[in-house]
Structure formats: structure tokens, C-alpha cells
Structure 1
Amino acid sequence: MRHFKYLLIAIVVLMVGCKDKQTGYKPNVGGKAGEMLVVMDDKIRTSPGGEELQALLTETYLGLPQEEPHFKMSVAPHRSFANFLRTIRNIVMVTVKPDVKEEAVKFYHDRWARPQAVVSITAKDTASLKQLVEANQLKILSFFNKAERERFIGEYKKFASDELMKLADSTFHVHMSIPNSLSNKRSTKSFIWMNEAADWGFQGMFLYEVPYVGEGTFSKEYLLNKRDSILHKNVPGPSKGSFMTTEHLYPVIYKKTEINGNEVVEMRGLWKVQNDMMGGPFVLQAHYDKKSNRVVITDGFVYSPEKPDKRDKIRQMEALMYTLTFK
């Protein structure tokens, strides 16, 4: 009877496995946001090419008060790449053999799990590996950063706040996939403050707009002046006479890009509360609405004084900004 029970279990497992192969079933990714597995053997790991790859993936994430890497990286040799490791959300597979058919960097989605990002790097020797990594630095980082962002966006769409989405639409005529973890802290005819409080602190986002007055509208100086003026008026601090503003003693990182077909300026830096001790990182995107000749600003911030890890919280706010489209 006991042998029959074991046989029955084995048959069920086999049937499930066959069904998975037939239906293309893939499990959900495991691990935490920002985790990365690099699969390469020890000799490759300590080579110049292996070290170049590790340095790229652990490069400092800009705009935070303390240094944090782009990804929390682990390295495993090919012999240890078992089934449970195949579900990690971000994976780099490094193969260095003299007989590889093609030296290349290739990008894959959902190879062993969903939603998964996998980069495969094949090279004939470690010198070629180093060259491939150097030539594809931006592509590799952008691929994994986008994958992290899209995972957050997927969650936002599943757990959206109809109330806040309607508020953003009625106030600024924009669509955003706003998660129900955020609440309406304060809103006026020209300003929205969304916030999520937690035991570690809080994170949130401001929405406001400024008129388009020519190319100068997108200058760092103009946008920061507008930011400080609007936050002074709308975001009081905990003590009398205190208010949120930009920490100008810390460099603000500035770049121009395009998101959802719109011109966007992105800035990263630190905020502080004037006349108080609070502060943290922020990321801001100024979205140009050409049709209405205006600039809508999404301004995300994090306050987490007890925990140094703020990278993923800022990534969450950045992901929310990427959902903005004009009506």
C-alpha cells in the first residue's frame, strides 16, 4: 500500500510536469526587487572581464544620500545553477569557451519565470568578455532597470486607486496607474500630494504644473526655482515655519529624455525640510504637453531615516512617473 502511494505521487508529479511543458507554464519570479544573479565560473569571476561585469552591475545608483549599488548581486558557478535559482528575477549568464559559435550579448524575457529579465553573454576568452561588457554597458543596465520598473508598474495596474487616478485626471488631465498603497494627503486645484506612511518612514509624490515659456522652461535653474516655490507653499514641515525644499548643497543630476512620446527632463537629488532635520532623496520628471503648451511635473520623494536602503523606494516612485500619459 505504501509503495502504491509513492507511485501515485510520482505519477501526479510527472503529469504536472508534462502539463507545464505543454501549456508553457512558468512560475513567478522569486527574490526581492533589485536582486541579481550572475552565473559564471570562478576563473571567469576573477578575470578582468568578470570584474568589469560585476563593477557594472554594482555601480553606484545616483541621487541617494548613501551609496547603494544598482543591484544587490550574487555570483554562482554554472554547476550550482539549479532549478530554484532559475526563478530569480534578474540573471546574467556568462559563458566563456573557445568553441562558442557566436560572441554576443543577448537579451531575454521570461526565460525560466515571469516576469524575468535574462542577459546571456558568450565569449571565446576573457579579453573578449571584457570588450563585450564595455561595449554594452548602457544596454545591459537599461535592460535590467526597465525590467525592475515594469514589474512595479504591473503591480500598480493590478492594485490601482480609482480615487487617485480620477483626481489626477480631473486636476491635470493625465492618466497614471496610481497604486492604492498611496493616499490623498493634500490636494488643491493646482497641486496633489500623494503619500504612503509605513513603520520605516514614508514615500510619496507631488503633481503640479508650470507654464511652458520656451526652452528655458527645461533648464535646471528654472525647474528647481519652481519646485522650491511650489513646495514652500504646499508642503509644510512638522515644526512651525518649516517647509520642504531642495538641498542645494548636494548636486542635482539632470538629463533630458523621452517617455511615452513626450519630451521629459529628469532630475535627481536630495530634499530637506527647512528649519527642521528631515530629508531624503527625490526624483523629478518634467513632462512636456505640447498640445496644451504646459509642463506637468511628477516629483517623487522618500523619507527613511532609520534604514539606509532607499534605492528601491525611489525606483517605485520613478516607475509611477513612467505611467503618465496626456489625455
Structure 2
Amino acid sequence: MKKIRTLFFVAISVAIIISCNNSGPKKRFLPPSTGGINSLMVVMDTELWQGGIGDKIREYFAAPVLGLPQGEPIFSITQIPPQVFKGGVTHSRSVLFVEQDTLSLTHIKDNVYATPQKVAVIKGETYNDLEGGVEELAQAAIAAFKHVEITEAQKRFTRSLSKETALQEEFGISLKVPSLYKVGRREKNFVWMDIQIPKGTMNIIAYEMPLESFESDSTFVGDIIKMRDSIGEKYVPGPYENTFMMTEKAFAPYVFPAEIGGKKAAEVRGIWEINGYPMAGPFLTYIINDKENNRKLVLEGFTFAPSAEKRDYMFELEAILRTIKFDMGS
């Protein structure tokens, strides 16, 4: 009898524990998000899309990417009306939802229908309300969409990573670089990796500059150009003797403040060309203020892909450069 009572109390205790564990809110299952890199699903009435509100959305979300030789939009946009937004379509990674409503609001939500996902919502009663909502939310939404797209790009290429150690040995850094990139040139204070793409190449270079470089704001852009041109002349030759990579003369590069690898940096976007030969393409440079190592570390990605769209190539290079990690103590 005593044994039966003991088993009864054990059973009751187990039931209570299971009941307690199941009493909390259940985590909702979300499917993985879908879509090509830099694709944006815009959910709004077709009438709005074809009118002034659609124009305002295109003004921001389809604006040309800075630093490309041809005009390519920030996002490749697909517009659908709300009644079509159901099922697998809701799993799009980046979604902009625009709706006429008695309530005016703007916000950005995470992982509403899938994961990872960003859903930007703009509601307003009048056209003026909607237009103001687009203007209010656009920059934050673009930044949120770009962040989730960068993360997705990194997730895709980290499935197979390069085991090259040149960057770690020369500069004490690591980058998550796809395995198809190979070291093509390595010298003291210079590493160049590249990959073959249809009709061209994608390239990553790294080098150091003295910490006190670029101290004058008035000559900042000019000093960056001089630096790039001197490195190009020394290390990045063109197809013939006395030809080399330099910054395009016709247009000054764009320069922005940035943070990369936990350190302050300057982000530079522009066009490179070959001195004395008709070759050109886009570049993205990060000049990282690495005080701990008494240097400025320069990372650059550039693409040569004539007659091809280059937005997604440069986006992949940005995603790679943004994986930088400094060795412990660096």
C-alpha cells in the first residue's frame, strides 16, 4: 500500500511540473523569410502605387545607389495589392505596407510573418498623411531593410568560408570571406584577394596608413584620393605597362561617417578607373580609426564587371567587409 501511495505522489508531481512548463505562452513558429537580396515587397493599392504616393515611395526606396557607374535602385521593388498579400507572399524578408486608414501612424516591426523579416508600416487618412508618413519613415526603413539584407547576404556566404590566413598574419584581423576568393597578391602591408565572376572580378584589398593620416577636414577628400591613387600605382596594375588603378578624375567620391568592427571609420564610395586605359568600376572603402594599434586600417572592395549590373556585387563586398573582427588586444 505504501508503494502504491509513493507512485501516486510521484505521478502527481510529474503532472504538476509538466503543467507548469506548459503554462507559459507558446513560442509562435515562423517560417524562414524568402526573396532575392535587395528585393522589397511593397503592399499597397495599385491606384496609390500608380499615383503620387507611389512616386514618393520610388523617390526614396528606388533611389540610385551612390557610387555606381550606372543608375541602379537601392531595392528591386515588387508591388502587390493588399488582397494578394497572403500565404507564402507574406514571407518576404523586407516588406513595406502602405494603407489609407483613419489612423495615421508609422512604425517598423520585426518578424511578423517570417524570420528574419522587417515590416515597415505607413498608414494615413489622406494623401498628405501618407506622403508625410513616407518622408518620416523612409530613412529608418531603408536602414532597417539594408540591415536585414546584409545579415542575409552574410548568412548565405558563410556556409563555405576561405581558410586563407593572410589578413590575420599581416594585419591581425579576420574577415568572413567566401571560399572562392583567393589571395592573388601579398606583400608587407598589402593583401589582395579576388574572385572570378562572369566577364570580370570582385576584389578585396587591405593595407595600413599612419594613425595621423587625414587629420585635416579641409583636405580630407583630396587626401583619400591621393592615398588610393598611390596604392593603385604601387600595387594594382592595369593591363599594360604604366597603367594602374586610380580614382576617377571626373567625380569626387562620396564620404560618410561609419562604424565597422566596433571602431569609427569613414565610408568612401566612388568610381575607380585605369590610368591610361578604358577600364572602370565602383569601389567601397572603409578607413578604420584603429587607435589601439596606432594605425588607420583600410579595407576596400571593388568590382570590374563591364556591361553588367553591379549593385549586388558591391553589396556582397560590403557584407564581407562588415564581418571584420580584430584579434584580442587589437
**TM-score category (smaller protein):** 0.7 to 0.9
8 Å CA contact 2:261, 2:326 repeated in 1: no
Tell me how far 1:96 sits from its aligned partner: 1.5
Tell me how far 1:217 sits from its aligned partner: 7.0
SS across alignment from 1:93 = strand
Alignment of 1:271-310 (within 5 A): 271-307=272-308, 309-310=309-310
The letter of the residue matching 1:78 is P
- TM-score norm. by structure 1 comes to 0.85
Q: 2:195 is matched with which residue?
A: 196
Q: 1:109 is matched with which residue?
A: 110
The letter of the residue matching 2:127 is T
- TM-score norm. by structure 2 comes to 0.85
Tell me how far 1:215 sits from its aligned partner: 5.1
Tell me how far 1:294 sits from its aligned partner: 0.5
8 Å CA contact 1:62, 1:268 repeated in 2: yes
Q: Does 1:73 align with 2:77?
A: yes
Within the candidate set 93, 98, 107, 1:94 is matched to 98
The letter of the residue matching 2:89 is L
Tell me how far 1:78 sits from its aligned partner: 0.6
8 Å CA contact 1:289, 1:326 repeated in 2: no
Q: Deviations over 1:92-113 (max 9, x none)?
A: 1112112x3xx32222333323
SS across alignment from 1:278 = strand
Tell me how far 1:214 sits from its aligned partner: 5.5
Q: Deviations over 1:190-221 (max 9, x none)?
A: 11111010223111111111011165277222
Q: 1:244 is matched with which residue?
A: 245
| Displacement over 6 Å in runs of 4+ | none
Distance in 2 (alpha carbons) for counterparts of 1:214 and 1:37: 43
SS across alignment from 1:55 = helix
Q: Does 1:54 align with 2:58?
A: yes
Residues paired across the two proteins, number: 300
Alignment of 1:301-320 (within 5 A): 301-307=302-308, 309-320=309-320
8 Å CA contact 1:30, 1:87 repeated in 2: yes
Q: Give the greater-gyration-radius structure (CA).
A: 2
Distance in 2 (alpha carbons) for counterparts of 1:190 and 1:68: 34
Q: Does 1:26 align with 2:25?
A: no
Indicate how the Cα distance of structure 1 residues 253 and 235 shifts in structure 2: closer, same or farther if over 3 A, else same: same
SS across alignment from 1:295 = strand
8 Å CA contact 1:50, 1:130 repeated in 2: no
Q: Does 1:206 align with 2:205?
A: yes
Distance in 2 (alpha carbons) for counterparts of 1:288 and 1:325: 14
Indicate how the Cα distance of structure 1 residues 110 and 204 shifts in structure 2: closer, same or farther if over 3 A, else same: farther
Structure 1 unmatched ranges of 5 or more: 1-21
Q: 1:64 is matched with which residue?
A: 68
Q: Deviations over 1:16-71 (max 9, x none)?
A: xxxxxx77443333332121110001233244334312321111111100111111
Q: 2:267 is matched with which residue?
A: 266
The letter of the residue matching 2:187 is T
Q: 2:10 is matched with which residue?
A: none
Distance in 2 (alpha carbons) for counterparts of 1:118 and 1:217: 42
Distance in 1 (alpha carbons) for counterparts of 2:242 and 2:322: 34
Distance in 2 (alpha carbons) for counterparts of 1:254 and 1:84: 40
8 Å CA contact 2:200, 2:304 repeated in 1: yes
8 Å CA contact 1:217, 1:223 repeated in 2: no
SS across alignment from 1:291 = helix
Q: Percent same amino acid among aligned pairs?
A: 27
8 Å CA contact 1:44, 1:96 repeated in 2: no
Distance in 2 (alpha carbons) for counterparts of 1:317 and 1:52: 29
Q: Deviations over 1:240-288 (max 9, x none)?
A: 2221111121231111222343111111111111222221011111011
SS across alignment from 1:162 = coil
8 Å CA contact 1:92, 1:119 repeated in 2: yes
Q: Which is worse superposed, 38-47 or 226-235?
A: 38-47
Distance in 2 (alpha carbons) for counterparts of 1:203 and 1:59: 24
Superposition CA RMSD, Å: 1.9
Distance in 1 (alpha carbons) for counterparts of 2:190 and 2:63: 35
Distance in 1 (alpha carbons) for counterparts of 2:216 and 2:151: 29
Q: Which is worse superposed, 89-98 or 282-291?
A: 89-98
Distance in 2 (alpha carbons) for counterparts of 1:154 and 1:212: 33
The letter of the residue matching 2:215 is G
Indicate how the Cα distance of structure 1 residues 183 and 25 shifts in structure 2: closer, same or farther if over 3 A, else same: farther
Distance in 1 (alpha carbons) for counterparts of 2:173 and 2:129: 47
8 Å CA contact 1:89, 1:117 repeated in 2: yes
